[in-house]
Amino acid sequence: MGQIHAKVLSKLPQSSLVGIVDVQADKAKKLAKEYKCTAFTDVKELLGKVDAVTISAPTQSHLELAEFFISNNIPILIEKPLAASAEQGEKIVALAKEHNTVVAVGHSERCNPVVQAMKRLKIEPKFIEATRISPYSFRSTDIGVVLDVMIHDIDIILALAQSPVKNVDAFGVNVIGDTEDICNARIFFENGCVANVTASRLALKTVRKIRVFSRQAYLSLDFLKKEGVVINADPNSDAVKWIKQKQNEGNFDFSTINWADLLHIENLSIDDKEPLRLEQESFLNAVADRSKRPEVTADEGLAALKCAEAILKSVKEHKWD
């Protein structure tokens, strides 16, 4: 991910890529040469040279790196998850508030054009179903599928539900490594919303979909294909009245009706913008103008991490043997 971030940052008009830090000097030099910046092997070398930093490193090192930059009043964007644990995440959030420093979390799927389009609808979901499965990627092997993959949907669901988590129930199994590779979780919120989430990194194909049920509309969205369908409730009220009328009249052959013809179905209007670019632009805008906020704040990243930990706890409680 670090290389992808470097590529995006090297092209943004509102920033200048100063350098790339990697403990592997050869790797740092190679990337620095490609993106026309300076190679470093120690983060301390960045002091006095940068106005903001993106942390794309193993999850276990997030807290240490965050502490260094925040303590030096340097805004940071941390790749998801925020930290290796909620306890560490709370330390990062507390530090950010203490130093009044911008901290964003790289939940890039929140910047997916599909999610951005869905956000504009301002719906109040009652049930959410998310599926995120793919073949094994051989990256992020230090964490399981919940913190690696499912956390994307956890973050999106928390943003949609807009309510504290009441409790979770989850099942998972590890097949390849020491951590879970497949997981299904049901999240219950205090406002009555329920979410069913499935994540797997052992699938034979890639699927990234979400369905949302609400009083205002039904949504079926595909993050991968960047497309979605919306069935709004109000425009379809006439169809419902017509159906009830025919039912009351009796002897009507409903098999002659094409159900889709009765519904008001809209294709969701989606902008084709690169999620990581939008994520970085949002972060940099928040750094330049403190009245603005990054797409995903440290508090939101912490909320997603706490929910993920509750799911992992439930997985352990439901052992298979």
pLDDT digits (tens, 9 = 90+) for 45-86: 999 999 999 999 989 999 999 999 999 999 999 999 999 999
- The whole-number pLDDT of residue 77 equals 98
- The whole-number pLDDT of residue 246 equals 77
Pick the closest to residue 159 from 121, 206, 201, 132 (CA basis).
121
Q: Please check whether residue 321 lies inside any domain of the structure.
A: no
- The whole-number pLDDT of residue 20 equals 96
Please answer whether residues 266 and 302 qualify as being in contact, where contact means their C-beta atoms are separated by less than 8 angstroms.
no
Does 13 sit behind a cis peptide bond, omega within 30 degrees of 0 on the bond before it? no
Q: Please check whether residue 316 lies inside any domain of the structure.
A: no
Gyration radius from the chain CA atoms: 22
Please answer whether residues 119 and 212 qualify as being in contact, where contact means their C-beta atoms are separated by less than 8 angstroms.
no
- The whole-number pLDDT of residue 49 equals 96
Residue 293 binned pLDDT confidence (cut-offs 50, 70, 90): very high
Q: Please check whether residue 255 lies inside any domain of the structure.
A: no
Reported as a single tens digit per residue, the pLDDT across 183-238 is 999 999 999 999 999 999 999 999 999 999 998 889 999 998 889 998 876 665 56
Pair of tokens at residue 197: 């989430």
Whether residue 268 sits in one domain with residue 119: yes
Q: Please check whether residue 306 lies inside any domain of the structure.
A: no
Pick the closest to residue 156 from 186, 183, 195, 185 (CA basis).
195
User: Containing domain of residue 242, as a range?
Assistant: 110-250+261-273
- The whole-number pLDDT of residue 98 equals 97
